[in-house]
Amino acid sequence: MENCYLIINIDRCWGCRSCQVACKVEHGLTDKDSRPMEAIRVEMEGESCATCEAVPLTCMHCDDPKCASVCPQEAIYRDEEGLVQVDEAKCVGCGLCSKACPYGAIGLKTVSGKRKASKCDMCRDRRSRGFMTSCEQHCTGGAIVSCGEGRLQEMLSPFPYKWSTGKTIYVSQKISSLGKF
């Protein structure tokens, strides 16, 4: 199978948080579980007036995933699409992955009374049945699009500014300092 990517266009996100709820509903998560997808509002005091951007934050599916390297159970693995996944059968819910992730992208959920690591699985089940990921379908701004390796360059070409550490790619035509830290 070809690699799968999630392209997030910051210029189109206005922070409505549909993605956040869509993700929880699709994965049967409750309000007590962590949020695999969350839109964060970033405000700045501008010169003439304040400005605001919003960023949907989720798993980066890193090329070098810190969560996997600290997992004592080796429960975090890379799947056939190059995505970082949690094997819930192996996971004991110790939470070390959550501490290790620099982006706050992996947390914990409760499944049948047991704690398990919880993060974006790129709607693996949904896509296998011909659906889009729930976040990209429901996004009111059309900011999120998943795509395979074949279409990747075409999808990225309009954007001069990009940032990524893996399969999730933030893009913009506006944020010239995107990810320069």
- Per CB under 8 A, residues contacting other proteins are 10, 12, 14-18, 20-22, 24-26, 30-31, 34, 38, 40, 42-45, 48-55, 57, 98, 101-105, 107, 125, 129-132, 134, 136-142, 145-147, 160-161, 163, 170, 173-181
For residue 46, the tally of other CB atoms under 10 A from its CB is: 9
Rounded least distance, CB 87 to other proteins, Å: 21
Of 2 and 131, nearer to other proteins (C-beta) is 131
Closest CA to 4 of 119, 86, 82: 82
Which residues are CB-neighbours of 37 under 8 A, at least 6 positions away? 19, 20, 22, 23, 56, 57, 58, 120, 135
Q: Which residues pair with 53 in a beta bridge?
A: 42
Rounded least distance, CB 177 to other proteins, Å: 3
Of 51 and 69, nearer to other proteins (C-beta) is 51
Rounded least distance, CB 132 to other proteins, Å: 4
Which residues are CB-neighbours of 113 under 8 A, at least 6 positions away? none
Of 68 and 175, nearer to other proteins (C-beta) is 175
